[in-house]
Amino acid sequence: MKQTADVLPLVLENVSLERGGKRVLKDIDCRFDADVSKTLIIGPNGAGKSLFLQVAHGLVMPDSGRVHWALDGDPESVRRAQAMVFQRPVLLRRNALQNIEFALKIHGIPASERHERAKAVLKRTGLGRLAMTPARALSFGEQQRLAIARALSVEPRVLFLDEPTANLDPATTHLVEDLIEEAAAAGVRIIMTSHDLNQARRLADEVIFLNRGRIKERATSSQFFEVPQNDLAAAFLKGELLWWRRQSPDDRKEKPED
CB under 8 Å to 173, separation ≥6 — which residues? Answer: 165, 199
DSSP state of 62: -
Q: Which residue has the higher pLDDT, 2 or 134?
A: 134
Answer for the pair 195, 42: CB distance below 8 angstroms, yes or no. Answer: yes
For residue 6, how many other CB atoms are within 10 A of its CB? 17
Calculate what percentage of the chain has a pLDDT beyond 90.
85
CA 180 – CA 117 distance, rounded (Å): 19
For residue 188, how many other CB atoms are within 10 A of its CB? 20
Furthest-apart CA pair in the chain: how many Å? 59
Q: Which residues pair with 64 in a beta bridge?
A: 16
Strand bridging mode 189-193 / 206-211: unpaired
CA 180 – CA 29 distance, rounded (Å): 26
For residue 134, how many other CB atoms are within 10 A of its CB? 15
CA 75: distance to chain centroid? 20
Q: Hey, what amino acid is at 99?
A: N
Q: Hey, what amino acid is at 105?
A: K
Least confident range of 99-103, 175-179, 205-209, 245-249: 245-249
Given a cut of 50, is residue 223 above it in pLDDT?
A: yes
Q: Which helix (H) or strand (E) holds 203?
A: helix 197-203
Report residue 246's pLDDT band, with 50, 70 and 90 as the boundaries. low
Q: What is the mean pLDDT of residues 76-98?
A: 94
Report residue 254's pLDDT band, with 50, 70 and 90 as the boundaries. very low
HSE-CB for 59 with a 13 A CA cutoff:
12
CA 221 – CA 207 distance, rounded (Å): 6
- Can you give the pLDDT at residue 167? 86
CA 218 – CA 137 distance, rounded (Å): 40
CA 185 – CA 120 distance, rounded (Å): 18
- Can you give the pLDDT at residue 140? 93
For the stretch 173-216, pLDDT in tens is 999 999 999 999 999 999 999 999 999 999 999 999 999 999 99
Calculate what percentage of the chain has a pLDDT beyond 70.
92
- Can you give the pLDDT at residue 255? 47
Read off the pTM. 0.91
Report residue 73's pLDDT band, with 50, 70 and 90 as the boundaries. confident
CA 173 – CA 164 distance, rounded (Å): 9
Given a cut of 90, is residue 78 above it in pLDDT?
A: yes
Q: What is the mean pLDDT of residues 156-178?
A: 94
For the stretch 51-64, pLDDT in tens is 999 999 999 999 99
Given a cut of 50, is residue 71 above it in pLDDT?
A: yes
Average pLDDT, the chain: 92
CA 242 – CA 255 distance, rounded (Å): 13
